[in-house]
Amino acid sequence: MIRRVVLITEIIAPYRIPVFNALAQHKGIDLHVIFLAENDRTQRQWLVYKDEIRFSYQVLPSWRRRFGRYSLLLNWGAEAALRQAAPDFIVCGGYNYVASWRAMAWARRNHVPFSLWAESTSRDIRSGYAFIEFLKTRFLRACDAFVVPGKSSVEYLRNYGMPEEIIFTAPNAVDTQLFAQQAEAIRRDPTMHREALRLPARFFLFAGRLVPEKGIFDLLRAYGALPSDLRKEMGLVFVGDGPARSALLQGAAATDPGSVQVVGFAQRELLAAYYALADVFVFPTHTDPWGLVVNEAMACGLPVISSAAAGCAADLVENGWNGRVVSPDDVEQLAAAMAELAGDNELRSLMGRRSRERIELYSPEACAAGMANAVLSREGRAA
């Protein structure tokens, strides 16, 4: 039996396209994706790889306005799009859009099972506001099923009293083969690429938005706390952009000895080069639903130092096995982990191989299989 599935998500993110392509090819699934916008230029500089899309989709008309950390995204035509798509099952990525609530209301009226693609964790700093919690709880209780990326999100839903039997894991994924192949190609001639990018011979790497909540200033302080001889040998490279870039550049300039580079945003085609040439990937975030940059780094064979606040840490980073898990905001602990990995070539190599091995289980196909399981195994509780 073929089930018509409509998946509602915010933007055409490059890392989601391989997952949706795999889901569209899954036996028993007829997929249509409704995007609420093509991109969010206020937050992301991603290219939109429409030529790689192999699934049916549409982009709703939208209006967006950002108020500090918060974004208001309004759409029109959601109900009409659902009527035209005639879904047997709806997967909705988020509850914080007006279109999500309209889609849920439409599903209730038309007796269509409605599931939430939930990536929140108990460490999410956005939690705790009474009105938001009221809305969130109301939305969660109205869902028929949940799709989650990993253990931290399962725990989060359990804390809200959601039954385990309606929670389905779809392991969060990037195109692991693409990153692995690109990294392998870069490593065939590392000197050429290192010189072209003007990178130090050895370096710690961070990739992501340059905002304080990603722990970038903790990382800068931890690097500054390393022994001076180690800083002379190992640089620190930040890949990304964001409102904290100027302050980060000021801190980088004041770090001596050592080499701290803030290279700006890198598109997918260039990002693998930074991973391939780095010694250690560091992700010291204070809050993050997942952290797909960790997937990318692991696909490129890097050991990872991650804060426990990253949603991915519980699934991807095993302390002492393929990296280190540290407490958020703990600069001393972060510096100790950096010094340990920087000083042990054999340990870094072993952890990098283990990262590559583990991330094979987090492929687009595995994520698509988890979503398909939610659709095909759950008839739902729609009234």
What would the DSSP string read from start to end of 95-111?
Answer: SSSHHHHHHHHHHHHTT
Mean pLDDT for 308-331 is: 97
Question: Is there a shared CATH topology between the 3-173+363-377 domain and the 176-359 domain?
Answer: yes
Question: Given pLDDT bands bounded at 50, 70 and 90, which one contains residue 93?
Answer: very high
pTM, to two decimals: 0.95
pLDDT at 365 over 60: yes
For 323, left (φ over 0), alpha (ψ -120 to 50), or beta? left
Mean pLDDT for 317-341 is: 97
Distance CA 309, CA 24 (A): 32
Q: Considering only residues 123 and 27, tell me which one the structure prediction assigns the higher pLDDT.
A: 27
Cβ partners under 8 Å of residue 253, min gap 6? 260
Torsion of CA 88, 92, 96, 99, to 10 degrees: -50
Mean pLDDT for 228-243 is: 97
pLDDT at 45 over 90: no
Q: What is the number of H-type helices and E-type strands within the chain?
A: 16, 15
Q: Considering only residues 371 and 1, tell me which one the structure prediction assigns the higher pLDDT.
A: 371
Query: In this structure, which topology does domain 3-173+363-377 adopt according to CATH?
Result: Rossmann fold (3.40.50)
At residue 381, the pLDDT reads 40
Proportion of the chain above pLDDT 90, given as a percent: 89
User: Of 34-43, 97-106, 227-236, which range is least confident?
Assistant: 34-43
Proportion of the chain above pLDDT 70, given as a percent: 97
E-assigned strand segments in the chain: 3-9, 29-35, 56-59, 62-67, 70-75, 89-92, 114-117, 145-148, 167-169, 203-207, 235-239, 260-264, 280-283, 304-307, 323-326
Q: What is the pLDDT of residues 185-221, one digit of tens each?
A: 999 999 999 999 999 999 999 999 999 999 999 999 9
* Assigned token pair, 362: 């987090």
Q: What is the pLDDT of residues 150-191, one digit of tens each?
A: 999 999 999 999 999 999 999 999 999 999 999 999 999 999
Mean pLDDT for 12-24 is: 97
Question: Given pLDDT bands bounded at 50, 70 and 90, which one contains residue 130?
Answer: confident
β-pairing verdict for 114-117 and 145-148: parallel
Contact by Cβ (8 Å): 304, 281: yes
Contact by Cβ (8 Å): 152, 131: no
Mean pLDDT for 39-47 is: 82
CB-side neighbour CA atoms (13 Å) of 126: 11
* Assigned token pair, 80: 């009409």
- Is 302 buried (19+), middle (13-18) or exposed (0-12) by CB count in 10 A? buried
Q: Where are the domains of the chain?
A: 3-173+363-377, 176-359
DSSP class of residue 167? E
Architecture of domain 176-359: 3-Layer(aba) Sandwich (3.40)
The Cα-based distances of 54 to 34, 49, 186 in angstroms read 14, 11, 28
pLDDT at 54 over 70: yes
pLDDT at 127 over 60: no
At residue 126, the pLDDT reads 57
Cβ partners under 8 Å of residue 50, min gap 6? 12
Mean pLDDT for 16-32 is: 97
User: Of 173-177, 266-270, 279-283, which range is least confident?
Assistant: 266-270
Question: Given pLDDT bands bounded at 50, 70 and 90, which one contains residue 383?
Answer: very low
What average pLDDT is seen over the chain? Answer: 94
At residue 123, the pLDDT reads 81
DSSP class of residue 69? T
Contact by Cβ (8 Å): 358, 322: yes
